[in-house]
Amino acid sequence: MSQTTIMDHPLIQHKIGIMRVKTTSTKEFRDLVAEVAMLICYEATRKLELSDIEIETPLVKTTVKEIAGKKLCIVPILRAGLHMADGILNLIPNAKVGHIGMYRNEETLEPVEYFCKLPHDAAEREIFVVDPMLATGGSAIAAISQLKARDITKIHFLCLIAAPEGVKALQAAHPDVDIFIGSLDECLNENGYILPGLGDAGDRIYGTK
């Protein structure tokens, strides 16, 4: 049974609050994307399976835990997901990284895919799709459909800010995917932007526009 988790940790709320401020600098915004992604990832990896391995401490032999199976793969949705992936790699440096390039057509709000490159063994891995914004849900839904078309099944989706409309659409399209949300905002405006939101995540990360 998949779950939708809205993070209530004070650190996450505090950091997202700073990201929303329109005068927050590009550098600070970018750093915060990585930090909040790391904090959400801590929760999103809570249920990973562990297995026992034998090791030797400087004093004795003992059994410790390690993450079982074929390990993890982070899949940022370009552009804005890239800095979330960087943050998560601080926690899980051995994760593989796949990339899906997707942008919204500004008139129709429909996602347009322009790139997809995944590790060859992605189907054996636990996949964490990351994108700061879940607005209409079109980009996340299309990205996850791309993964499923390649026989990938163990998929989680992490975002910093979501609109209720996007959450509903993603849950309906991919009911098997766990969703982790830094902040659930109020609604979309007439241009498909999340309110109160933080504006265009890609533009704020890269200083474009």
In whole angstroms, give the CA distance from residue 41 to residue 36: 8
Q: Which of 130, 139, 157, 174 binds ligand PRP (CB under 6 A)?
A: 139
User: Can 104 be counted among the known catalytic residues?
Assistant: yes
In whole angstroms, give the CA distance from residue 89 to residue 86: 5
Report, in Å, the least distance between residue 39 CB and ligand PRP. 19
Tokens 């939101």 locate to: 197
> CA 172, 178, 181: angle at the middle one, nearest 5?
95
The listed partner (ligand PRP, ligand URA, none) that binds 42, CB under 5 to 8 Å by sort, is none
Which of 9, 16, 126 shows the shortest CA–CA distance to 69?
A: 126
User: Can 62 be counted among the known catalytic residues?
Assistant: no
Q: Which of 133, 147, 162, 169 binds ligand URA (CB under 6 A)?
A: 133
Site string for ligand URA, 178-207 (x = CB under 6 A): --------------xxx--x--xxx-----
Residue 166 engages ligand URA in binding (rule: CB under 6 A): no
Residue 80 engages ligand PRP in binding (rule: CB under 6 A): yes
Residue 173 engages ligand PRP in binding (rule: CB under 6 A): no
Per the annotation, does 20 bind a ligand? no
Which of 100, 172, 177 shows the shortest CA–CA distance to 136?
A: 172
In whole angstroms, give the CA distance from residue 144 to residue 127: 10
Q: Roughly what angle, to the nearest 10 degrees, separates helices 164-173 and 138-149?
A: 20
Per the annotation, does 79 bind a ligand? yes
User: Can 63 be counted among the known catalytic residues?
Assistant: no
Q: Give Cα 208 distance to the centre of its chain.
A: 22
Residue 103 engages ligand URA in binding (rule: CB under 6 A): no
Tell me if the bond preceding 79 is cis, omega within 30° of 0: yes
Q: Which of 108, 121, 150, 208 is catalytic?
A: 108
Which of 42, 47, 84, 87 shows the shortest CA–CA distance to 69?
A: 47
User: Can 4 be counted among the known catalytic residues?
Assistant: no
Per the annotation, does 176 bind a ligand? no
Amino acid at 49: E
Q: Which is nearer to ligand PRP, 98 or 132 (CB)?
A: 132
Residue 166 engages ligand PRP in binding (rule: CB under 6 A): yes
Residues that bind ligand URA (CB under 6 A): 133, 135, 192-194, 197, 200-202
Residues that bind ligand PRP (CB under 6 A): 77-80, 102-104, 109, 111, 131-140, 166, 192, 200-202
